Structure 1
Amino acid sequence: MKKNIIFIINPISGGKSKVNFPDMAAKFLDAAKFNATYVFTEGRGHAYELALEKVNRDSDVLVAVGGDGTINEVASGIGESGKLMGIIPYGSGNGLARSLGISLDDRLAVLALNKLNINRIDSGTFNDRNFFNMAGIGFDAHISTIFANHITRGLAGYVKTAIAEISNYQCQNYILEIDGKRIVRDAFMISIANSSQFGNNAHISPFASLRDGLLDVVIIKPFPLYQFPILGYKMFNRSTHTSNFVEIMKGKDIRIIREGSGAIHIDGEPCSMGSELRIKVKPLSLAVLV
């Protein structure tokens, strides 16, 4: 029997037009295997609402056409339903798609759906929010909050914003409990990595795995400003673990207490949470077509 496949399209992700996406996808999608429907989102949170609606009907596959934020909303809508997820990467970083080996060429990504090759991956929860690629607190959450209001997306804009903000940013003190082990650290930022990278092949935790039932806790310690470009270089050549300013631990159940409420990011999308944060892994909880 044919599968009902729903493409949930974020029209503004990555700054790329997707007006012609349905026509293109129809040419490369196997019509003998799929009945396709295409819907466009109308704002933040709409992809989640659409996914939740479609998953409770007769859909078999829900495809996020967008970046990590769109993927987060669609995957969160799929939840524990057992429905399959597809990804057509159209974001500015495409961290999860890159980690899964999904082509950044939209035509090849659509063709890959025809194979129905299923790969189950872990996900995580950050208090009451799901994440699938990366979440964090500290400097990267601060930059995500500022960057969310920028019209121009992409790596260059992100780096420019980071350089403008870094000299005035104050590190914080954090209490962490990782699977019952308690540590105290001053930190520039703390990333919770399900995959190895933020996006654009910037690998914050080079050995993180989407399928090991663990999350990587990456602590960036306070560092002199001249080390900033060196840390950036290490991300792009997958060697952050060799820095004296980086500490990486793995865990399933993580608790973080910080000095007060503030910004966090969930798959690159900023929001605010309180001083106590509880992070847990959900092993092999999402079935993705790759």
Structure 2
Amino acid sequence: MRQFTAVVNPTAGGATSAAALHKVARLLREAGAELETEYSRSLPHARELARRAGERGRVVLAVGGDGITGSIGGALSGTGALFGMVPAGRGNDFARALGLPGDPDGVARVLLHGTPRAVDTIEVTSSVHAGTVVLGSVYAGVDALANLHANRSRMLRGSASYYAGALRAISTWRPVRYRITVDGRDHAYSGYTVVAANSSYYGSARRIAPEARLDDGLLDVVMIRDAPRRLFFALMKELDTGAHIHRPQVQVVRGREIRIEADRDVPYGADGEIEAVLPVTARVLPGALRVLC
């Protein structure tokens, strides 16, 4: 029987996370599994707790949304520790990419009986982050600015906060001149954003890279070029289905190492939490994380 350590960040959606864990914990214990809970003070503290639990041979559970999921999964990348999730955030994009169930019974079944799967992770390197590892994507441009606004929103939650953040970001955005280097090959364009995607989803269920796979050893690099603002709003709506990739303003290439630069200070983000400015390098770490799914 598996032994679990659940890591919860009480400062970020703590009540929702605690409620989700309570339901799953009851089912795990009824099945005879051992579960201990650790409450972190911050995401760095959550990573530390996760590494300690992994070293003890326990299955480490991230309880919450993509921020804590990416932080804990990144901390366990390359360690051989087994990782599980109790999705309880506003996005849950990495859990969605894995096809994890959203109900407590389904989550408990996966944690008790799921087969470990090796998935890729992303190493992020910049002047601010030296070798930080995340799970879903690295994005630089109007979406990173929109995420900043969403994270700071006190009135809205979930998809509504992302939509409101996007509207605010787009209304003030000026096209950026990007230089993207993918495995040594340069791509230059003026536009809205670039996304180096391991997961097909980001920004609360938007299919930014519909053909991305978590275990192919590659990142899907989505580049969105300059377009009239009304057309960009139409493109945003198509993110729900992934139809945007057929637009002539959108180009998708694949690679193992991506360097993103711009002609001015442009924000970038990763898994909804990392916030800094370009330049940044994203490098895939093939099969680096063992996850229950």
Does the TM-score normalized on the shorter chain lie above 0.5? Answer: yes
Alpha-carbon separation, structure 2, partners of 1:46 and 1:23: 22
Partner of 2:86: 88
Alpha-carbon separation, structure 2, partners of 1:22 and 1:268: 21
Whether the aligned pair in 2 keeps the contact of 1:62 and 1:84 (CA below 8 Å) is yes
Partner of 1:139: 142
- Determine which of 91, 95, 100 is the counterpart of 1:97: 95
* One-letter identity of the residue aligned with 1:40: Y
Partner of 2:128: none
Map Cα deviations across residues 150-207 of structure 1 (whole Å, 9 max, x no partner).
Answer: 2232111210121123121112111122112112111201111101111543101111
* Matched position secondary structure for 1:69: helix
* One-letter identity of the residue aligned with 1:39: E
- Tell me: CA distance 1:5–1:20, structure 2 relative to 1, closer, same or farther (3 Å): same
Partner of 2:280: 277
Whether the aligned pair in 2 keeps the contact of 1:173 and 1:259 (CA below 8 Å) is yes
* One-letter identity of the residue aligned with 1:148: N
Give the count of matched residue pairs: 287
* One-letter identity of the residue aligned with 1:218: V
Whether the aligned pair in 2 keeps the contact of 1:13 and 1:91 (CA below 8 Å) is no
Map Cα deviations across residues 196-242 of structure 1 (whole Å, 9 max, x no partner).
Answer: 11154310111111111100111111111111332122211221211
Alpha-carbon separation, structure 1, partners of 2:85 and 2:62: 5
Partner of 1:77: 75
Whether the aligned pair in 2 keeps the contact of 1:138 and 1:171 (CA below 8 Å) is no
* Matched position secondary structure for 1:17: helix
Give the alignment of 1:176-255 within 5 angstroms: 176-255=180-259
* Matched position secondary structure for 2:179: strand
* Matched position secondary structure for 1:73: helix
Map Cα deviations across residues 14-64 of structure 1 (whole Å, 9 max, x no partner).
Answer: 5753444454223211666632111222334332121123223x2321010
- Tell me: CA distance 1:26–1:255, structure 2 relative to 1, closer, same or farther (3 Å): closer
CA RMSD of aligned residues (A): 2.0
- Tell me: CA distance 1:61–1:167, structure 2 relative to 1, closer, same or farther (3 Å): same
Partner of 1:158: 162
* One-letter identity of the residue aligned with 1:121: V
Whether the aligned pair in 2 keeps the contact of 1:33 and 1:114 (CA below 8 Å) is no
Partner of 2:66: 68
* Matched position secondary structure for 1:232: helix
Aligned-pair distance for 1:66?
0.7
Whether the aligned pair in 1 keeps the contact of 2:20 and 2:88 (CA below 8 Å) is no
Map Cα deviations across residues 97-151 of structure 1 (whole Å, 9 max, x no partner).
Answer: 0010001223321221111311111111121221211111011111122222222
Whether the aligned pair in 2 keeps the contact of 1:98 and 1:199 (CA below 8 Å) is no
Indicate the larger mover: 234-243 or 45-54.
Answer: 45-54
Partner of 1:149: 152
* Matched position secondary structure for 1:207: coil
Aligned-pair distance for 1:262?
4.1
